[in-house]
Chain A
Amino acid sequence: MEADRKLVRKIAALAMLGLSGEEEAEFARDLNIIMGYMNRLAETNTDGFEPMEHVVPLINVLRQDIPEGFGDRNGLIGCAADVRDDCYVVPSVVDDL
């Protein structure tokens, strides 16, 4: 697979990134170099090896269902760039009626 600017644009859209033309060209070049190096992986025989997502065995950790308050609600909401009446302000998410 040859990465071109069209592919980079598609991946960027999936990742919610808008790129300049210069960035598209740079990342297409980089992706080709990196993927070229990593193509050797495909030739490696990994039969018999299960995917290892985590080094710690995943087990459910249960606790009593008791709510714990965070204690600093204003501190949390205050991290947002735009807040009104204790709510996050965002652009309209519905079309005009």
Chain B
Amino acid sequence: MSIQDLTIKEASELLRRRKVSSRELTESALDRIRRENGRINAFITVCDDLALSQADAADKRLAGGDGASPLCGVPMGIKDSICTRGVRTTCASRMLEQFVPPYNATAVESLLASGSVLLGKLNMDEFGMGSSSEFSIFGSVKNPWDTGRVAGGSSGGPAAAVASGLCCFALGSDTGGSIRQPASFCGVVGLKPTHGLISRYGLVAYAPSLDQIGPITSDVTDCALVLDAIAGHDPRDPTSANREGEDYSQGLNRDKLPIRVGLPREYFGPELNKDVKNAVFKAVSMLEEAGSSTGEVSFPSTEHAISAFYLISSAEASTSLGRYDGIRFGYRKTGAKDLEELYQLSRSEGFGREVKRRILFGTHALSAVYRDKLYNKALRIRRMIARDFSEAFESFDVIVAPAYPETAFRMGEKTGNPLKMYLGDIYNVGANLAGLPALVVPCGLDRRGLPIGIQLIGKPFSEKLLLRAGYAIEKRVGRLRPPRAGEESSEGG
């Protein structure tokens, strides 16, 4: 039995009917990773023995009728910024190349308790800082639709692994679009939940007021199933919302979806690729078919969103990454003559270029002279952006946006121009700044045959509604699958 193309739901049904064992599914996935990972570079670490022992334990649970969770026995991958006990967690950085956490992230703990099987850890931009998964010491992640193009970032590994059938589902993390943009580029489903819905305990911090763990899956049903398992309050995360998750996977398929859908006029300007625009509008018409009404809305603060986001995220990063001093964990340069030199040399050699760039930028924004002019100004803009959304939600239930201004771009196209890379995040950073849930669902292909995603942004804790809307689109578009190896959609442009 091949894991390729199986959703969680399909795999779970086969496991329950004893048509396949978790060991068989896991062996198939490991075999596929051995054959395919060289082409995609999605996995950094593969834990064969651990995965097989977890699969055997899941088989015992299933045989004993204790496979209550649909995730029991289903193989998964975890982004390498999320801690896994006994399995190294590198953040794709030299700084953490040898770091083996002595504890699991709460989200990982929940998935393991459900009986999911950990295949390994997935590639990403170093510390989550990037939009292409090219800033990794383990090399770039390749897009399974066209290996000459990026998989998106920073959760490029999770999105590429799910799209190419190396695992049934994955966990990513999203600080400014890091789940949604790669999901869009790879033709899979990605959800950034409301800030606080999923515990951040064990997620290596980049910008804590913006970071959020979320699922990357083959379809909307799977996304809901993973959310069922990981949502809920965690006392170990002080910013965890004091509420339990809902039953997200029930009632996804509605005959009628009479919701009000808002289209921000600032999101559909000339900078938006025409194919992307057409596909998103077509998906909106599918929501209308399902009974939704649509209208235009204005987000006047959009023009400042990127500036505010990069100021705030870099400022938080400069603080979060202050803990890497070469002493208690992480890379340490030997031979330093004193403590200060040890700090400097360890950090200078342990961090890559993009991480250093953001630490410097954040340190500058927080310096005494510029704090008011830059950081505090950005925090005020953040409140303006949050107000734009809350006012829009007085008239609309869901805001529609593209996931990115274009489809997957070529390797190396933006790495030499940081600002160009940052500007692409324009439709994504608002949901992080305002702490809102946002779901990306595939909605078509561009003229090159590359996937396009539509983004649905909702009120806080409205994940269930977003999943229903996403399901309505998915039902009409169908699931997108990348071409097999050697049949990619490469072309000249």
- B287-337 with Cβ < 8 A to chain A: 303-304, 306-308, 310-311, 318, 322, 325-332, 336-337
Instruction: Decide if A31 touches B361 in the complex (CB within 8 Å).
Output: yes
**Proximity string of chain B (370-391) to chain A, C-beta cutoff 8 Å, 1 when within and 0 when not:** 0001101111111110110000
Instruction: Decide if B332 touches A82 in the complex (CB within 8 Å).
Output: yes
Nearest to A26 among chain B residues (CB) is B353
Q: Closest Cβ of chain B: how far from A40's Cβ, in Å? A: 7
Q: Closest Cβ of chain A: how far from B149's Cβ, in Å? A: 24
Instruction: Decide if B328 touches A92 in the complex (CB within 8 Å).
Output: no
Q: Closest Cβ of chain B: how far from A70's Cβ, in Å? A: 8
Nearest to A72 among chain B residues (CB) is B102
CA distance A30 to B310 in the complex (A): 13
Among B338, B342, B379, B380, max chain A CB count under 10 A is at B380
Nearest to B373 among chain A residues (CB) is A42
A46-B381, A52-B386 known; A91-B338 Cβ under 8 A:
yes
**Proximity string of chain A (71-83) to chain B, C-beta cutoff 8 Å, 1 when within and 0 when not:** 0100110111110
Among A44, A55, A63, max chain B CB count under 10 A is at A55
Tell me, yes or no, whether B69 is within 8 Å of chain A by CB.
no
Tell me, yes or no, whether A66 is within 8 Å of chain B by CB.
no
Instruction: Decide if A76 touches B361 in the complex (CB within 8 Å).
Output: no
Of A27, A33, A40, the contact of B307 (CB 8 Å cutoff): A40
Instruction: Decide if B336 touches A91 in the complex (CB within 8 Å).
Output: yes
Instruction: Decide if A41 touches B418 in the complex (CB within 8 Å).
Output: no
CA distance A46 to B375 in the complex (A): 13
Instruction: Decide if B356 touches A19 in the complex (CB within 8 Å).
Output: yes
A17-B347, A41-B307, A46-B377 known; A55-B434 Cβ under 8 A:
yes
Tell me, yes or no, whether A97 is within 8 Å of chain B by CB.
no
CB-defined contacts of B384 to chain A, threshold 8 Å: 46, 49
Nearest to B435 among chain A residues (CB) is A55
Q: Closest Cβ of chain A: how far from B15's Cβ, in Å? A: 32
Instruction: Decide if A41 touches B328 in the complex (CB within 8 Å).
Output: no
Of B327, B378, B418, the contact of A88 (CB 8 Å cutoff): B327
Instruction: Decide if B363 touches A49 in the complex (CB within 8 Å).
Output: no
Tell me, yes or no, whether B196 is within 8 Å of chain A by CB.
yes
CB-defined contacts of A53 to chain B, threshold 8 Å: 209, 379
Interface residues of B, CB < 8 Å — how many? 70
Of B101, B306, B348, B418, the contact of A30 (CB 8 Å cutoff): B418
Nearest to A76 among chain B residues (CB) is B102
Of B100, B347, B374, B383, the contact of A38 (CB 8 Å cutoff): B374
Of B99, B360, B433, the contact of A31 (CB 8 Å cutoff): B360
Interface residues of A, CB < 8 Å — how many? 47
Of B347, B357, B359, B380, the contact of A49 (CB 8 Å cutoff): B380
**Proximity string of chain B (242-262) to chain A, C-beta cutoff 8 Å, 1 when within and 0 when not:** 000000000000000000000
CA distance A79 to B330 in the complex (A): 7
Q: Closest Cβ of chain B: how far from A89's Cβ, in Å? A: 9
Instruction: Decide if A61 touches B238 in the complex (CB within 8 Å).
Output: yes
CA distance A38 to B422 in the complex (A): 12
Tell me, yes or no, whether B169 is within 8 Å of chain A by CB.
no
CA distance A91 to B132 in the complex (A): 39
Of B209, B322, B374, B419, the contact of A55 (CB 8 Å cutoff): B209
Instruction: Decide if B195 touches A51 in the complex (CB within 8 Å).
Output: no
Instruction: Decide if B360 touches A17 in the complex (CB within 8 Å).
Output: yes
A15-B318, A30-B418, A55-B195 known; A46-B380 Cβ under 8 A:
yes
Of A19, A49, A52, A79, the contact of B329 (CB 8 Å cutoff): A79
Of A19, A51, A75, the contact of B102 (CB 8 Å cutoff): A75
Instruction: Decide if A80 touches B339 in the complex (CB within 8 Å).
Output: no
**Proximity string of chain A (1-18) to chain B, C-beta cutoff 8 Å, 1 when within and 0 when not:** 000000010011011111
Instruction: Decide if A51 touches B374 in the complex (CB within 8 Å).
Output: no
Q: Closest Cβ of chain A: how far from B95's Cβ, in Å? A: 11
Instruction: Decide if A41 touches B374 in the complex (CB within 8 Å).
Output: yes
Q: Closest Cβ of chain B: how far from A8's Cβ, in Å? A: 7
Instruction: Decide if B356 touches A23 in the complex (CB within 8 Å).
Output: yes
CB-defined contacts of A90 to chain B, threshold 8 Å: 327, 339, 342
Of A17, A23, A41, A82, the contact of B344 (CB 8 Å cutoff): A17
CA distance A60 to B68 in the complex (A): 36
Among B310, B336, B348, max chain A CB count under 10 A is at B348
Instruction: Decide if B344 touches A56 in the complex (CB within 8 Å).
Output: no
Tell me, yes or no, whether A84 is within 8 Å of chain B by CB.
no
A37-B307, A54-B209 known; A80-B327 Cβ under 8 A:
yes
CB-defined contacts of B102 to chain A, threshold 8 Å: 70, 72, 75-76, 78-79
Q: A27-B360, A31-B364, A54-B209 are in contact. List 15 more A-B contacts (CB 8 A).
A: A16-B343, A30-B418, A34-B418, A40-B303, A41-B304, A42-B373, A44-B381, A53-B209, A55-B386, A72-B103, A75-B102, A78-B100, A79-B102, A88-B328, A93-B338
Chosen A-B contacts, 19 in total, with CB atoms closer than 8 Å, are A14-B367, A16-B343, A18-B347, A37-B307, A38-B311, A46-B377, A49-B384, A50-B380, A51-B379, A51-B382, A52-B382, A54-B209, A55-B434, A56-B241, A78-B100, A81-B332, A82-B332, A90-B342, A91-B339
Task: List the interface of chain B (C-beta within 8 A of A).
Answer: 99-103, 195-196, 209, 235, 238-239, 241, 303-304, 306-308, 310-311, 318, 322, 325-332, 336-345, 347-348, 351, 353, 356-357, 359-361, 363-364, 367, 373-374, 376-384, 386-387, 418-419, 422, 433-435
